[in-house]
Structure 1
Amino acid sequence: MLPQEWIEHRRAEDREQVGWIRPDGEDWVAVSLLGHELTGPVDWLAAEEALDGATLAWFAEVWMLERPGREPLRVRLVEVTPDGVVVQTDDFGAIDVPVERFTLPWPAPEELRPRRAGDPDGRTFPASGRHG
């Protein structure tokens, strides 16, 4: 549940929500849509700038879902709200590819992370995976 004292922040140019600003004593902390702190305690303007620099492009990016004892799974963000984070397996832009959806808690857990060098690219399979 979203704490009552958090203040929704929207970008000025398009009014899209990009996160929240929460009080921290005399200062403020910028919190992303994923529920992660983007700053430590800063002044209000610095918190706004951090959130305005955060982007909704996350929805277009590939993320990785870590799974115990298995290769990380390529996923895309589908929905992010304080009620939960929904991701689905990467469909590579095809509308007819079957996908699997996963509902994660909010704030997003550490198992959901941005793609890093060395992660599966979707074009090659790991040695333990299937071969075409």
Structure 2
Amino acid sequence: MPVPTDWIEHRRHDRELVGWIRPEGEAFVVVDLLGRERTDAVDWLTAEETLDELGIGYLADPYELLLPDGRRLRVRITEVSPEQIRVKRDDWGAIDIPLLEYTLPFPMPPELRVLDPSAPIVLDALG
């Protein structure tokens, strides 16, 4: 899905895109780089401050990908754009593990989610 034309880009001081501000009536909703709404309707200043505080650090967090066969794979995000989200199996920096990459649609689909550290991952980097 391309970014709707009414979404307003928000960039940090170094011009790095950190998300969008989506108009909703007289208020605004914060949308992160994965296409997730991060606030309810807020005023403009709160929307800007929220995106500035949010930054892009969450892109480096571990995520889990629910595979079609029901197994869960620990992944890292490698690329985000309004056209797609690319993830790869988390290899913990190993160079001898075959690369498994997946291309997902934007916004973030339900099968990709923030890793729940308490839930066992059935398929790990060596699986």
Q: TM-score range by the shorter chain?
A: 0.7 to 0.9
CA distance in 2, matches of 1:35, 1:60: 16
Answer whether contact 1:58 1:77 (CA < 8 A) is retained.
Answer: no
Match for residue 11 of structure 1? 12
Name stretches of at least 5 consecutive residues in structure 1 with no aligned partner: none
Match for residue 93 of structure 2? 93
The list of structure 1 runs, each at least 4 consecutive aligned residues, that deviate by more than 4 angstroms after superposition, is none
Aligned length: 124
> Which protein shows a greater Rg?
1
**What is the deviation of 1:32?**
0.4
Distance change >3 Å, CA 41–CA 75, structure 1 → 2? same
CA displacement 1:6-60 (0-9 Å, x = unmatched)? 1111123x33211000111111111000001011111001111211122322332
**What is the deviation of 1:120?**
2.4
CA distance in 2, matches of 1:55, 1:108: 17
Name stretches of at least 5 consecutive residues in structure 2 with no aligned partner: none
CA distance in 1, matches of 2:8, 2:120: 36
Match for residue 27 of structure 1? 27
Give TM-score scaled by structure 2 length: 0.87
**What is the deviation of 1:104?**
0.6
Answer whether contact 1:35 1:106 (CA < 8 A) is retained.
Answer: yes
CA distance in 2, matches of 1:115, 1:31: 20
**What is the deviation of 1:68?**
4.1
Structure scoring higher RCO (CA < 8 A, sep ≥ 6) equals: 2
Determine what percentage of the aligned residue pairs are the same residue. 48
What's the secondary structure of 1:70's corresponding residue? Answer: coil
Match for residue 59 of structure 1? 59
CA displacement 1:75-112 (0-9 Å, x = unmatched)? 11011111011111111112342211111110010111
CA distance in 1, matches of 2:63, 2:111: 10
Give TM-score scaled by structure 1 length: 0.84
What's the secondary structure of 2:30's corresponding residue? Answer: strand
Please tell me the residue identity of whatever aligns with 1:2. Answer: V
The answer on 1:44 being equivalent to 2:26 is: no
